C-alpha cells in the first residue's frame, strides 16, 4: 500500500511537469489571441456576409419597377368578314390582327427614394449588429481568457505545494524507516501530498476545458493554448462614472441600434404617408386592324382613386411604433446609467480592499512559506503548526488571486458597458 502511494505521488509530479511542457509550447499573449479572433472567428465571418446582403438590398431598392408588355387579340385564322391588310412578312399577315401594349408604373410622392432611405438605415443596422456581435464576443473571449489565467495561477500555486510536499514525503519516508519520525507524521505528510495532487489534477482538468472554451472563439486557428500574461496586481482606474456614462451613450452599439430603429420607424412612417398617393401607370398602345385606323398608336394613363383606402391603418401603426421607440430609448438610457453607477461602486469597493492588503503582502507570504518549510525541515515546527500555516497560506493566496481576478473582471464589464476600452 505504501509503494502504491509513493508511485502515485511520483506520477502526480510527472503529470504536472508534462502539463507545464504542453502549456509552454502554446503560449500566447492575450493581444495575440484577440488578433486571431478578429480574423478567424466564424461568427464574425458570417455577420460580414449580412453586411454585404444589406448593401445588395440598398441596390435593389434603387431600381425602378420593370415595364410591362402585353400582346393580345392575335387571330390565328380568318373568317369571311376578314379585311385585307398589308402583309407583315412576305405574303404572310394580310389577315392578322394584333394589339401590343407597353405599360410603365411611375411611383409618386417619392416612394422609391423613401424606400432607399429605409434600406440605407437597414444597412446601418446591419453594421451596428456586427459591432454589437463583436462587442459581445470580445467580452466573452476576454472573460474566458481571464478565467484561464486564474486557473493557470492556481495550477502554479498548487504545483508548488505538490513539489514541496513531494520532497517532504520522500524525506519523511527515509526518516520513518530510520525511526526518527513517527508513522503518523509520515502518513500525514503523504496524505497532504496526495490531497494537493488531487486538487492540482482538478485544476488541470478545468484548465483544459477552459482552453477549449477559448479556442472555440478562434475558428480554424483554435488549438490547445495557454496565456503568457501573468496575473499580477491590477492597474487601478480612477472613478469617472459621469464620463463613462457619456462614453457609453456615444459608443454602445446596442444603444445606437435602438436609435437607428427610431430612424427606421420615421422612414417607415414617411413611406406609409406616401402610400396615400396612388401610383401612376402610363401606357403606350399599338393596334393593327382592330380600330377605324389600320395601324393605331395611342397613349393612356391609369391611377387608383383614393376614396376609401388612404392607408390610415398603416399610418397609425407606424406612428405608434415611433412612440414605443421613444420610450425604449429613454428606458435604455436609464438602464445604462444605473449599471455604470452600480459597477463603479463595486470597483471602488474592491479597489479599497485590494489596496489595504496588496502592498507587498503577496511577497511576504512567499517569504514566510520558505521560512516555514525550512523551520519544519529543521524540526523547529510541529507538523500541526506547519500544516496549519500551509492551509492559511493557501487560503490567503487564493483569496488575493480571486480578488485581483474579480477586479479585472469588473474592468472588463465596465469596458463592455462603455463600449470601448477604458484608459487609466
pLDDT of residue 180: 80
Of 104-108, 138-142, 354-358, least confident by mean pLDDT is: 354-358
Q: Could you tell me the pTM of the whole model?
A: 0.82
Q: pLDDT tens digits, residue range 89-98?
A: 877 878 788 8
- CA dist list (Å): 168 to 6, 163, 165, 188: 12, 9, 5, 11
pLDDT of residue 21: 42
**Cell numbers 484608459 label which residue?**
423
Torsion angle in degrees (nearest 10) through CA of 325, 326, 329, 334: -140
- Angle of helix 361-377 relative to helix 111-177, nearest 10 degrees, comes to 20
Q: pLDDT tens digits, residue range 328-353?
A: 999 999 999 999 999 999 999 999 88
Judge whether residue 241 has pLDDT over 50.
yes
Of 155 and 83, more confident: 155
Judge contact between 32 and 218, C-beta under 8 A: no
pLDDT of residue 387: 92
- Give the separation between CA 109 and CA 271, rounded to whole angstroms: 9
Give the length of the chain: 424
Q: pLDDT band at 112, cuts 50/70/90? A: very high
Of 93-97, 153-157, 171-175, 297-301, least confident by mean pLDDT is: 93-97
Cell of 108: 409618386
Amino acid at each position: 500500500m505504501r509503494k502504491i502511494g509513493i508511485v502515485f505521488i511520483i506520477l502526480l509530479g510527472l503529470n504536472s511537469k508534462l502539463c507545464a511542457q504542453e502549456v509552454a509550447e502554446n503560449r500566447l499573449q492575450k493581444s495575440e489571441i484577440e488578433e486571431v479572433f478578429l480574423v478567424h472567428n466564424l461568427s464574425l465571418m458570417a455577420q460580414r456576409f449580412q453586411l454585404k446582403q444589406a448593401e445588395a438590398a440598398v441596390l435593389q431598392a434603387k431600381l425602378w419597377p420593370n415595364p410591362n408588355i402585353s400582346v393580345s387579340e392575335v387571330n390565328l385564322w380568318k373568317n369571311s368578314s376578314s379585311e385585307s391588310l398589308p402583309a407583315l412578312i412576305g405574303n404572310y399577315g394580310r389577315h392578322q390582327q394584333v394589339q401590343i401594349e407597353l405599360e410603365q408604373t411611375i411611383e409618386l410622392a417619392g416612394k422609391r427614394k423613401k424606400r432607399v432611405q429605409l434600406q440605407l438605415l437597414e444597412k446601418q443596422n446591419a453594421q451596428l449588429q456586427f459591432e454589437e456581435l463583436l462587442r459581445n464576443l470580445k467580452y466573452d473571449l476576454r472573460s474566458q481568457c481571464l478565467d484561464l489565467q486564474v486557473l493557470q495561477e492556481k495550477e502554479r500555486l498548487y504545483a508548488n505545494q505538490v513539489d514541496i510536499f513531494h520532497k517532504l514525503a520522500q524525506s519523511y519516508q527515509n526518516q520513518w524507516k530510520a525511526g526518527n519520525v513517527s508513522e503518523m507524521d509520515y502518513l500525514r505528510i503523504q496524505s497532504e501530498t496526495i490531497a494537493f495532487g488531487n486538487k492540482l489534477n482538478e485544476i488541470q482538468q478545468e484548465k483544459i476545458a477552459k482552453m477549449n472554451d477559448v479556442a472555440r472563439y478562434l475558428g480554424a486557428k483554435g488549438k490547445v493554448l495557454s496565456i503568457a500574461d501573468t496575473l499580477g496586481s491590477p492597474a487601478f482606474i480612477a472613478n469617472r462614472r459621469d464620463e463613462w456614462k457619456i462614453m457609453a451613450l456615444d459608443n454602445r452599439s446596442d444603444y445606437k441600434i435602438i436609435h437607428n430603429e427610431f430612424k427606421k420607424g420615421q422612414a417607415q412612417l414617411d413611406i406609409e404617408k406616401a402610400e396615400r398617393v396612388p401610383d401612376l401607370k402610363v401606357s403606350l398602345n399599338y393596334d393593327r386592324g382592330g380600330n377605324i385606323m389600320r395601324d393605331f398608336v395611342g397613349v393612356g394613363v391609369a391611377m387608383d382613386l383614393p376614396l376609401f383606402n388612404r392607408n390610415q391603418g398603416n399610418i397609425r401603426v407606424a406612428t405608434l411604433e415611433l412612440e414605443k421607440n421613444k420610450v425604449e430609448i429613454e428606458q435604455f438610457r436609464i438602464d445604462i446609467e444605473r449599471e455604470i453607477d452600480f459597477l463603479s461602486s463595486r470597483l471602488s469597493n474592491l479597489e479599497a480592499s485590494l489596496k489595504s492588503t496588496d502592498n507587498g503582502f503577496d511577497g511576504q507570504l512567499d517569504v514566510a512559506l520558505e521560512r516555514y518549510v525550512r523551520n519544519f525541515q529543521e524540526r523547529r515546527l510541529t507538523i500541526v503548526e506547519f500544516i496549519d500555516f500551509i492551509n492559511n497560506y493557501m487560503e490567503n493566496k487564493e483569496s488575493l488571486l480571486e480578488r485581483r481576478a474579480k477586479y479585472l473582471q469588473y474592468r472588463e464589464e465596465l469596458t463592455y458597458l462603455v463600449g470601448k476600452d477604458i484608459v487609466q
